[in-house]
Chain A
């Protein structure tokens, strides 16, 4: 199958140069050839699992206290308590 690696990279927000496009193109063709060929199956779609009852938590604010400073301490660029990114509107 011919895979448009450049388009995929764009969708995935990856930038690939020409050499990488060639290399990943080859890899992707091999990988897609490996994973394709799945059978058509009726598939019992009754996804309910009585053994594993999931429980949604109450909509209450978590008691875990993480301060704004702690949360922002990992941001690569900060100014006046805000994360800095390139200008998005002219």
Chain B
């Protein structure tokens, strides 16, 4: 087996036992990236030189016998909306085509301090708005399981890179499903942490009350290890939770006896592919055989979740993206005759269509005369969703649902119809609205494409989610990179 095919936990052991060096491993992953890039297109920036020099640094530390983190020397890819000091951070937008952050995001400080080797920046939907990564200004990313299909979005590059082996682990961000959906489409593991568990400092903001950074891995153990490194309190994010976290990998166990798994009927209704429902229920029934208890639950406000999500997220996006005006950083239009003209031309030429649609929707729902009918109602529905989850978690410990209503769709299939694209988020948006953690784990294949099972948990119950996903992984087997 090639080094790039192995999991981070296997590789970490090999590094410790000096069976390979971080430089060899990093070169293996970089050459895999170069070999697959034309077909998959996961990367926007490949950082060969800095990756190899960081790997050498780690090798020197290993040689000296220094005590290192669980993921020291392991190559990682980073979504391009996470600020990396000195490395281009474009958000896949023309607006930030030349932006080099003068600072590191909180998670990058953690990643660097843990001696994880950054291989580069990964493709995404522009400003994380989209469900297919087709909204990137720079390139399309293809699903490694079928190159005619999308990888999902918005963290499509992060999922595709891990699935094909051009990264061992990666970081993405999730505002309405942007980690879990591509994880499901690409057949890898993706965790959306509890709101506040991971600092958003340095994450280019889309919808601040919903955004959260999270890890991707081919295995649950790798995903747990990366989450353990990036979580924690940060003074620079006022919504960051101040609490202690356990050692997630050490506590990982696949024993589900006594675990109460809630099955919400609203997630198994119309609009969700029959074979996907089947794959999810088959898996959950296997867990039942091992001692888990299935509980029927209901989350009635789910039918309004998509409406509320697009209203709230677009409202926040319209104010967050006001900062892109061509003055301080990024793109500026060439010809203008006044300050206002410069703003308007810069924004019209710098943003893609989907971003413009969301900004205008946000402007609309916040504008006078419409605020009460849209934004205020959406915030009240959000409270109903929170309350219903609270009631459901009195009856169960985790909730199991499909991560996506179907498997990966074809490139171009939903590009003409924004509302059809938005419907792909139906299984994931409630989690962000309620600030809960959720994980997507592969649960077999449907018509040759991966299907994902989503576990939703109480706030800060990531360990329970990881354990549940670990139990599923025992059934399906650990994922290895796909051949393309």
A41-B380, A57-B238 known; A64-B103 Cβ under 8 A: yes
Residues on the A chain within 8 Å of B418, using CB: 27, 30-31
Q: Nearest-CB distance from A67 to chain B (Å)?
A: 8
A51-B460, A74-B329 known; A38-B377 Cβ under 8 A: yes
- B138 proximal to A (CB < 8 A): no
Instruction: State in angstroms the CA–CA spacing of A43 and B384 once bound together.
Output: 6
Total chain A interface residues with beta-carbon distance under 8 A? 51
- B402 proximal to A (CB < 8 A): no
Q: Among residues 329 to 363 in chain B, which have CB atoms less than 8 Å away from a CB atom of chain A? A: 329-332, 336-345, 347-348, 351, 356-357, 359-361, 363
Name B419's contact: one of A31, A40, A66 (CB within 8 Å).
A31
- B100 proximal to A (CB < 8 A): yes
- B457 proximal to A (CB < 8 A): no
A35-B307, A38-B304, A76-B326 known; A28-B361 Cβ under 8 A: yes
Name A86's contact: one of B342, B347, B373, B374 (CB within 8 Å).
B342
Residues on the A chain within 8 Å of B327, using CB: 75-76, 83, 85
- A13 proximal to B (CB < 8 A): yes
In contact, A36 and B340 (Cβ under 8 angstroms): no
Q: Among residues 23 to 79 in chain A, which have CB atoms less than 8 Å away from a CB atom of chain B? A: 24, 27-28, 30-32, 34-45, 47, 49, 51-57, 62, 64, 66, 70-71, 73-77
Q: Nearest-CB distance from A73 to chain B (Å)?
A: 7
In contact, A74 and B304 (Cβ under 8 angstroms): no
In contact, B310 and A74 (Cβ under 8 angstroms): no
Instruction: State in angstroms the CA–CA spacing of A16 and B384 once bound together.
Output: 38
A13-B325, A74-B328 known; A35-B374 Cβ under 8 A: yes
In contact, A11 and B367 (Cβ under 8 angstroms): yes
Q: Nearest-CB distance from B31 to chain A (Å)?
A: 32
Instruction: State in angstroms the CA–CA spacing of A83 and B401 once bound together.
Output: 51
Instruction: State in angstroms the CA–CA spacing of A62 and B103 once bound together.
Output: 13
Q: Among residues 264 to 320 in chain B, which have CB atoms less than 8 Å away from a CB atom of chain A? A: 304, 306-308, 310-311, 318
Name B363's contact: one of A8, A47, A73 (CB within 8 Å).
A8
Instruction: State in angstroms the CA–CA spacing of A28 and B112 once bound together.
Output: 43
In contact, B304 and A66 (Cβ under 8 angstroms): no
Q: Nearest-CB distance from B383 to chain A (Å)?
A: 5
In contact, B360 and A8 (Cβ under 8 angstroms): yes
In contact, B364 and A8 (Cβ under 8 angstroms): yes
Instruction: State in angstroms the CA–CA spacing of A42 and B383 once bound together.
Output: 9
In contact, A66 and B102 (Cβ under 8 angstroms): yes
Residues on the A chain within 8 Å of B373, using CB: 36
Name A28's contact: one of B307, B357, B377 (CB within 8 Å).
B357
In contact, B332 and A77 (Cβ under 8 angstroms): yes
B373's closest neighbor in chain A, by CB? A36
A11's closest neighbor in chain B, by CB? B363
In contact, B357 and A51 (Cβ under 8 angstroms): no
B233's closest neighbor in chain A, by CB? A55
In contact, A14 and B459 (Cβ under 8 angstroms): no
- B108 proximal to A (CB < 8 A): no
Residues on the A chain within 8 Å of B310, using CB: 31, 34-35
Give 1 or 0 for each of B236-265: 1 = CB within 8 Å of chain A CB. 101111100000000000000000000000
Instruction: State in angstroms the CA–CA spacing of A11 and B347 once bound together.
Output: 12
In contact, A76 and B99 (Cβ under 8 angstroms): no
Residues on the B chain within 8 Å of A38, using CB: 304, 307-308, 311, 374, 377-378, 381
- B435 proximal to A (CB < 8 A): yes
In contact, B419 and A34 (Cβ under 8 angstroms): yes
Instruction: State in angstroms the CA–CA spacing of A42 and B274 once bound together.
Output: 35
Q: Nearest-CB distance from A30 to chain B (Å)?
A: 5
- B34 proximal to A (CB < 8 A): no
In contact, A12 and B363 (Cβ under 8 angstroms): yes
In contact, A40 and B347 (Cβ under 8 angstroms): no
In contact, B364 and A32 (Cβ under 8 angstroms): yes
In contact, A36 and B307 (Cβ under 8 angstroms): yes
Give 1 or 0 for each of B181-223: 1 = CB within 8 Å of chain A CB. 0000000000000111000000000000000000000000000
Q: List 16 A-B contacts (CB under 8 A).
A: A5-B360, A13-B343, A31-B357, A31-B422, A35-B365, A35-B374, A38-B381, A39-B381, A41-B384, A44-B383, A52-B194, A52-B241, A54-B196, A57-B236, A76-B332, A86-B338
The 3 closest A-B pairs by CB, nearest first: A43-B380, A74-B329, A76-B332
Besides the known contacts A13-B343, A28-B361, 20 further A-B residue pairs in the complex with CB atoms under 8 A apart: A12-B356, A14-B360, A24-B357, A30-B418, A35-B310, A38-B307, A38-B377, A45-B380, A47-B383, A49-B459, A52-B194, A54-B240, A66-B102, A71-B102, A74-B328, A75-B328, A85-B339, A85-B342, A86-B336, A86-B342
